[in-house]
């Protein structure tokens, strides 16, 4: 059971797992079997064959969006390992939020009643060649971009994708917010519908009948899916559980993050000034600060990094799963993905017809 605590967590995890597999297959990373190798421990090939004999359960449309996004990123992006937290820390260190305010500089100083030019007013001396001019590094270094030293052919996306475990698509709607309390109450007293849906999904998994994943109706030359219907539908299995998106409108908006970010940064200068004053001893701590010490500058930097990681993750995750956002698609998935379904001999049986009419 894999669940993401926040939007986008599942997509990042799947993308990282796919990139790890690519590195192992390319011989760039050892296959870690664990601290001990047992006599009957399955090999890597046996583990992957066991995965293909099983399946992946996708619960809800939001999970399908994250799964497809992570799968596409994993087989398309560079397979080099990237520390997102370290990259963000470098970016935040260069934006000047923790820079100390510059003291005003006087243009002239008087010595014996005669003004003398400051260093900025002096003409630069000529370079004689013996001592090259001193180069002062910038106080705002640019964040380093991840670079790869691997051969180009290893960084190229593969033309085909290995077979993937079949998918079991299970509809699910998570009612959120005060306006959906009636649906919550109705669902509480009608659990039998959820039990039936879960039982049918489990039956499809046990029977093991699969079909190819239904591709979308139309894609562009860049393999980016474009909605081919006025209501935003893409066609095929990418329209799985699309009615559930109407319940997620207003569940989260980027303005919520912007408000939290603005409130935090408005209070940051005062906290930073207090931390530096106490650290340098320019003032004595108050009684309240003695009882509850304020955060130090190091703690403020760590707190900011943690908050920005969460805020940016929420923004990117919402852009991925928000209503109306199309599901990621790659043409290489056409011959790779499969879906569990009910066996054809039982799809049109009288019992199923009565069951379908009762459900509707």
**Whether residue 342 sits in one domain with residue 235:** yes
**Whether residue 263 sits in one domain with residue 210:** no
In a domain, 127, yes or no: no
**Whether residue 181 sits in one domain with residue 232:** yes
Q: What is the pLDDT of residue 147?
A: 52
Q: What is the pLDDT of residue 296?
A: 94
Number of domains in the chain: 2
Q: What is the pLDDT of residue 29?
A: 82
Q: What is the dihedral of CA 115, 120, 122, 124, to 10 degrees?
A: 180
Inter-residue contact 70 to 11 (CB < 8 Å): yes
DSSP state of 246: G
- Closest C-alpha among 156, 146, 158 to residue 81: 146
What is the Cα 241 distance to its own chain's centre?
A: 22
Q: What is the pLDDT of residue 267?
A: 95
**Whether residue 239 sits in one domain with residue 207:** yes
In a domain, 228, yes or no: yes
- Three-state DSSP class for residue 97: coil
How far apart, in whole angstroms, are the C-alpha atoms of residue 329 and residue 75?
Answer: 12
In a domain, 38, yes or no: no
How far apart, in whole angstroms, are the C-alpha atoms of residue 148 and residue 141?
Answer: 21
Stretches in the chain below the pLDDT threshold 70 = 1, 3, 32-39, 103-154, 218-232, 250, 346-360
**Whether residue 66 sits in one domain with residue 165:** yes
Note down the domain range covering 264: 254-315
Q: Could you tell me what percentage of the chain is helix, strand and coil, using 3-state DSSP and rounding each to the nearest 5? A: 50, 5, 45
- Three-state DSSP class for residue 108: strand
Burial of 243 (0-12, 13-18, 19+ CB in 10 A): exposed
In a domain, 214, yes or no: yes
**Whether residue 48 sits in one domain with residue 163:** yes
**Whether residue 247 sits in one domain with residue 164:** yes
Q: For the whole model, what pTM was predicted?
A: 0.76
Q: What is the pLDDT of residue 121?
A: 40
Q: What is the pLDDT of residue 122?
A: 39
**Whether residue 166 sits in one domain with residue 244:** yes
**Whether residue 205 sits in one domain with residue 164:** yes
**Whether residue 184 sits in one domain with residue 210:** yes
Q: What is the pLDDT of residue 26?
A: 85
**Whether residue 261 sits in one domain with residue 245:** no
């Amino acid at each position: 059971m894999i669940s993401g605590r926040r939007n986008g967590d599942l997509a990042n995890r799947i993308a990282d797992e796919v990139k790890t597999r690519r590195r192992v297959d390319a011989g760039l990373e050892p296959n870690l079997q664990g601290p001990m190798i047992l006599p009957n421990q399955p090999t890597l090939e046996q583990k992957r064959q066991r995965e293909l004999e099983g399946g992946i359960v996708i619960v809800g449309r939001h999970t399908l969006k994250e799964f497809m996004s992570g799968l596409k990123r994993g087989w398309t992006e560079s397979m080099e390992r990237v520390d997102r937290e370290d990259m963000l820390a470098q970016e935040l260190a260069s934006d000047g939020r923790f820079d100390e305010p510059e003291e005003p500089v006087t243009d002239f100083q008087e010595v014996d009643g005669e003004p003398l030019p400051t260093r900025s007013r002096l003409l630069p001396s000529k370079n004689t060649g013996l001592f090259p001019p001193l180069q002062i590094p910038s106080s705002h270094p640019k964040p380093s971009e991840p670079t790869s030293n691997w051969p180009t052919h290893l960084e190229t996306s593969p033309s085909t994708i290995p077979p993937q475990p079949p998918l079991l698509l299970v509809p699910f709607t998570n009612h959120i917010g005060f306006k959906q309390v009636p649906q919550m109450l109705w669902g509480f007293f009608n659990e039998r519908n959820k039990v039936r849906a879960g039982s049918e999904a489990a039956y499809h998994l046990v029977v093991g009948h699969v079909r190819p994943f239904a591709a979308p109706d139309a894609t562009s030359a860049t393999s980016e899916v474009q909605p081919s219907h006025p209501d935003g539908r893409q066609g095929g299995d990418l329209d799985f559980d699309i009615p559930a998106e109407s319940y997620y409108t207003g569940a989260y908006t980027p303005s919520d993050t912007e408000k939290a970010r603005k409130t935090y940064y408005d209070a940051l200068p005062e906290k930073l000034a207090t931390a530096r004053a106490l650290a340098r001893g320019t003032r004595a701590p108050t009684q309240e600060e003695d009882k509850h010490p304020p955060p130090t500058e190091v703690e403020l930097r760590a707190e900011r990094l943690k908050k920005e990681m969460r805020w940016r993750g929420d923004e990117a995750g919402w852009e991925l799963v928000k209503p109306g956002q199309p599901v990621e698609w790659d043409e290489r998935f056409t011959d790779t993905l499969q879906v569990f379904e009910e066996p054809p001999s039982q799809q049109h049986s009288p019992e199923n017809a009565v069951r379908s009419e009762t459900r509707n």
